[in-house]
Amino acid sequence: MKNSSDSSQFVLNGEMLNQLNATVKEFVNRWLLNQPFFANKEMPQSTNGTAMCVTVVVLLLPIAIVYFRRHCCGNGRLPKPVPFKVSLPDQAKPNWKGKRLSSTEVVDPQNPNMIQCYCPATGQFLGSFPSKTREDIDLIMKQAQSAHDEFRHSSFERRLRVLVSLREYVLNNQDLIARVACRDSGKTMLDASMGEILVTLEKLAWVIKHGRKILQPSKRKGPTNLFMKMYKGAEVRYEPLGVISAIVSWNYPFHNLLGPIISSIITGNAIVMKCSEQVVWSSEFFIKLVQTCLRACDEDPNLVQLCYCLPPTESNGQAANYFTAHPTLKHITFIGSAPVAKHVLRHAAESITPLCVELGGKDAFIVLDSVTALEKLSSIILRGSFQSAGQNCIGIERVIVSSKNYDKLVSIIAKRFKDDPFRLGSDIDHHVEGVDMGAMISNNRFPQLESLVKDAVSKGARLLTGGSPYTHPKYPQGNYFQPTMLVDVTPDMDVAQNEVFGPILVMMKGESTKHCIELANSAPFGLGSSVFGNDYQECNYVANELKTGNVAINDFATFYVCQLPFGGINGSGYGKFGGEEGLLGICNAKSVCYDALPFVSTQIPKPLDYPINSNGKAWTFVKAFITASYTTSPWQLIKSVMSLAKNGN
């Protein structure tokens, strides 16, 4: 859709400026000009100029404040970014012409131990990489451990220097990074800009601004014991765990890789990233980028390592399972599917390695009766459903609309499909080429997507558009699936219960607000959701009733951009990454108590010292101590203190 937009983007267009100007003008006329100072003054007949001036001030003042705080206050205490350059492979250059494969398979047909990389949008061959062996994994772990042994004592200044240097590079090389991500994933440059670069820069900026404060020792209240609380201090210190890992999915090859690395660096850990075999080529480049940055900042590049291997088989020595069970790893974050997660959990248990597990979702997008701006809402629905060809763990999987708005919203979206059909293709090298949606990572799930559509139609759903693969006239080797719209979907259909992870828009009708909630909670997942309505109290009620780990009210998926703890419940996994909880989760929370007052410390009273002279006297002393420590009765306190004095010798 040419006119689709994303709610997370703020564009100050002419219409919005006019609306803001009108609002300020009304403010000037109704309030400012009626104040005593102006009451007897002769004012101009028109206040357009005044309103426009105030409008400009309203717009520029907060921007100026944010800029001042960022560049003059906050960043004034930050290390300066260290410039560095990364050599580019030919495939990463604009307008690269690579040979197209006749068989786009991950396993190289000429060598079963080699991972074959290709562009899903065009079928262009990117390169082959040897699947890592047990020996490779041992070496990677050894290098990471050695690097961490020194880095664990690093100052925040050292860690922040790496992160501000990374931020500077990403900000200044957006086209390059997007192109590399698109080559390996098949998405459009626009999808890469929003889903890869924007969120990565936000995480970098957030961690740079707040990371040091979050990881400072946390003072605790200490004991309530009457005697101990007077001299005992308590705190939690957050120390690096050691070598950690993140096993990440292929759908965001840059952001999924950089996110855990950013957290690892600020917490003082070393990290071994395990990427999907689908995106080895881009992952190699992005890890090289980070290692080059580390080297430029005088840090050991082995702090960040990359591992990849083919799925476990008898022929490859079970390297993937060996990686997961490796005793060097102190924590694993896993992002992927439930079947693979079960294998990871089973093997991680061998070394008792803790995990944070994110398994995708079946996110509901709830539209309540009070919503009126359905046309604008349709743009959010289209963006949330078809960005990255629907391959988004917090993408919109179900649009649940209350009865009042259902038919109207279905009509609006169907009309947009009819009047302005989606254009599929690749814009990696041709920004001027009109493309709305890119390719899927592979074609191996096409039969499953077609099966979901057929099952829904057989049970009463209506297929308004799409529903099958698409052969692109320019890129016949590309993995394209038609943007699909299914309406009148019910909970008994497979498409309502299983994660689609593809370009299928599913619409369900709720008879009431309560029914909308029931439909949203009917799937076995619980990752994210959105609720839209003009009645905030009703929206808040719905948010409280949804059984998910994340909710956006009158917005889509912004809980992720807000750097909140991210994770799901039920079939979506457990644990949180992102936000404060994400950083603290990869630290050893060391509890420390200490003497807060000089020359006052814990001593063993004489009645309790070995050898015990009198068990009766010792018991009376301890009982009096406990009573005095916790009683709420003044009289009991006095008697207990007197007993302590009496029996203390």
Residues annotated as catalytic (active site), given as ranges: 358
Helical residues (DSSP H) of 459-499, grouped into ranges: 494-497
Contact 441, 118 (CB under 8 A): no
Query: Percentages helix, strand, coil for the chain, rounded to the nearest 5?
Result: 45, 15, 40
Distance CA 479, CA 438 (A): 9
DSSP secondary structure code for residue 117 in this structure: E
What backbone phi and psi angles, to 5 degrees, belong to 51?
A: -60, -40
Please give the C-alpha separations between residue 612 and each of 463, 583, 615, in angstroms, as whole numbers.
Answer: 84, 48, 6
Question: Residue 557 region, left (φ>0) first, then alpha (ψ -120 to 50), else beta?
Answer: left
Contact 280, 117 (CB under 8 A): yes
Query: H-helix or E-strand containing 94?
Result: none
Contact 116, 272 (CB under 8 A): no
Helical residues (DSSP H) of 306-445, grouped into ranges: 319-324, 338-348, 374-386, 403-419
Contacts of 561 (CB under 8 A, 6+ apart): 8, 198, 199, 202
Helix orientation angle between 403-419 and 374-386, rounded to the nearest 10 degrees: 70
Chain-centroid distance, C-alpha 513 = 29
Burial of 527 (0-12, 13-18, 19+ CB in 10 A): buried
CA neighbours within 13 Å on the CB side: how many for 308?
27
Per DSSP, the residues of 495-541 read HHHS---SSEEEEEEESSHHHHHHHHTTSS--S-EEEE-S-HHHHHH
Contact 491, 335 (CB under 8 A): no
Query: H-helix or E-strand containing 247?
Result: strand 243-247
Strands 529-532 and 552-553, by their bridges, are: parallel
Residue type, 283: S
